[in-house]
Amino acid sequence: MTATDRTPAGDFERTPGGAILMDGNRLRDEVVADLNERITALGNPHVCLATVLVGDDKPSQIYVRSKRRKADEAGMMSRHVGLPADITQEYLEEAVLELVNDPHVHGILVQLPLPEGLDAERVLAMIPPEKDVDGLTERSMGRLVRGGEGHVPCTPLGVMRLMDRYGVETSGKRAVVIGRSTLVGLPQVLLLGRKGCDATPTLAHSRSGDLAAICREADIIVAAVGMAGLVTADFVKPGAAVLDVGISRTAEGIQGDVDFDAVQEIAGAITPMPGGTGPMTIGCLLENTFHAARMQGALPQES
Ligand code: NAD
């Protein structure tokens, strides 16, 4: 099945307009259940994710709480380091260094953004690639570019997993990624273009010009901007897969970059927002933590 095939196939839920609904909550639950099964089968080895949260930003608190809850459901331990917004760079680095040196901690997640005045790059640079479960450090990105063993950034990896789970064909397909951040857009392009996925990606951004015309060429659109409703129906080729990463907090609640109601009438597959790429960011973080424990020799051989 391909995303361009709009005839009913498989047991996938569909939107009122007939697009396959790429349900991130469902896939995240499958990932968590699978990890729990594997960890149980291995005799419940100690696998630990450490989260670092600086300040009292409400959305960041919710994200971190949710990551820790899902780690627990997966059969992992989590350790939380909560620090006040007025902490100095030096103290923050000391706290992270403690986690770096602790052999009982396998993955370290520093929740971004950090409060004004703190240098996130310096903090990230301290995390060794094997513990960098967010995949955001220079060394992890370098490994992604060069095809070495390491952790891939969770949000773009989650997008790949959603396409795989919901039967979106990528080989030989044209993809457009909107947004060129190191957090999402850039690694997304690398993942789409790498061997085995074999799509032909274009990286679009704020200076790209006629975005609608660029996107209409695409079989796959990944929108990672943070501009509510940017991707309208006239951006979408009939049957294309549309994955929404952008998050805008508006008076009507959380909104994605994609005008869901209009686009689901045309797309072959679409993620909801919320409930699409966000939950899978957490699913992939936990998978990365499991692999981190393996890289650090903390897991027995799986049979
Ligand atoms: P960012 O601000 O670093 O990057 C945004 C990108 O959008 C930039 O590269 C910019 O060139 C591009 N852009 C801005 N205006 C544009 C326009 N009019 N047309 C085309 N491109 C434009 O943001 P980010 O960290 O990459 O995050 C992007 C969005 O994704 C944000 O809304 C963020 O909250 C969200 N996000 C969601 C998840 C998730 O799990 N779903 C994870 C991370 C980030």
What local confidence, expressed as pLDDT, does residue 284 receive?
Answer: 98
At 282, the pLDDT band (50, 70, 90 cuts) reads very high
What local confidence, expressed as pLDDT, does residue 12 receive?
Answer: 94
> What's the rounded Cα separation, in Å, for the pair 28 and 199?
24
Run of H or E including 124? helix 120-124
Known catalytic residues are 67, 111, 134
- Residue 172 pLDDT exceeds 50: yes
What local confidence, expressed as pLDDT, does residue 303 receive?
Answer: 77
pLDDT tens track for 185-242: 999 999 999 999 999 999 999 999 999 999 999 999 999 999 999 999 999 999 999 9
CA distance readout (Å), 49 to 53, 67, 171: 13, 9, 34
What local confidence, expressed as pLDDT, does residue 10 receive?
Answer: 63
245 Cβ below 6 A of ligand 1: yes
| Centroid of ligand 1 to alpha carbon of 45 (angstroms) | 37
**Domains of the chain, earliest start first:** 43-127 (3.40.50.10860), 166-278 (3.40.50.720)
Q: pTM of the prediction?
A: 0.95
- Residue 8 pLDDT exceeds 60: no
Two tokens, residue 164: 């795989």
270 Cβ below 6 A of ligand 1: no
Two tokens, residue 283: 């699913």
At 136, the pLDDT band (50, 70, 90 cuts) reads very high
The preferred substitution site among 206, 242, 244 for testing ligand 1, maximizing ligand atoms within 8 Å of CB, is 206
Two tokens, residue 200: 């032909």
300 prior amide bond cis, ω within 30: no
- Residue 132 pLDDT exceeds 70: yes
At 302, the pLDDT band (50, 70, 90 cuts) reads confident
Report CA torsion sign: 124, 125, 126, 129: positive
Q: How many CA atoms lie within 13 A of 86 on its CB side?
A: 0
pLDDT tens track for 34-73: 999 999 999 999 999 999 999 999 999 999 999 999 999 9
